Amino acid sequence: MVMPAATPQPPVRWTRAMLEALPEDRQRHEIIDGVHYVTPSPAAPHQFVVSALFGVLLEYLRAEPVGWALSSPSDIELAEDTIVQPDLFVLHRTGDRPPRSWAEGGLPILAIEVLSPSSRSRDRIVKRPRYQRAGIAEYWIVDAESRLVERWRPEDERPEIITETLRWHPVGAATELAIPLLPIFDAVAPA
């Protein structure tokens, strides 16, 4: 007896509702253009870099109150089928109180991903163009192992590679932020 060939099923296109229905498992769940990604908790060096950058951003934004610095877990919705959790991000500040929901905060003006072995290609190849299409003003890919930051803007075809001092001057700020990168990289992987 000949069995009929199975008809290939189209891949499941994930949505916010599907993501919200998942049980809590302490992993980072994201959907990007309808594809579900799961990332395990990051290693210590990754978190030290995240913490160092977060501290610098908080200090700067106290002096230049143009945004709110936050870290994940968070659910930043770029589209119904794209919900990301950048390691760090800055939401535009429109008043004296922080937004009460991710939706109220709008799109980040800055998104930062610190590379991990499990996220390296996703952060560069999948997330980067998605952040650019969404119109996020700056996307930083922090590669502590290579001791550099890739800065991407929506119109960029190639990143700006920064190895010494990362400078950021968001709209509305009187002064720019200058982040010396070597001390951050030396703390997790001395040269």
Whether the per-residue pLDDT at 65 is higher than 90: the answer is yes
What mean pLDDT is predicted for residues 107-128? 91
Burial 16-35 (b: 16+ CB within 10 A, else e): eeebeeeeeeeebbbbbeee
Does residue 100 carry a pLDDT above 90? no
The pLDDT of residue 164 is 96
Burial class (CB in 10 A: 0-12, 13-18, 19+), 90: buried
pLDDT at 3: 58
Question: In terms of Cα–Cα distance, which of 45, 87, 44, 41 is closest to 185?
Answer: 45
Residue 127: per-residue pLDDT? 92
Q: Determine the pLDDT at residue 11.
A: 73
Does the pLDDT value for residue 126 go beyond 60? Answer: yes
Residue 5 in this model has a pLDDT that exceeds 90: no
Amino acid at 59: E
Q: Give the closest residue to 30 by CA, choosing from 90, 68, 115, 87.
A: 87
pLDDT tens by residue, 145-168: 999 999 999 999 999 999 999 999
Give the pLDDT score at 120.
Answer: 84
CA distances from 21 to 14, 24, 76, 107 (A): 11, 9, 17, 23
CATH topology of domain 44-188: tt1808, chain A (3.90.1570)
Which residues are registered as beta bridge partners of 29?
38
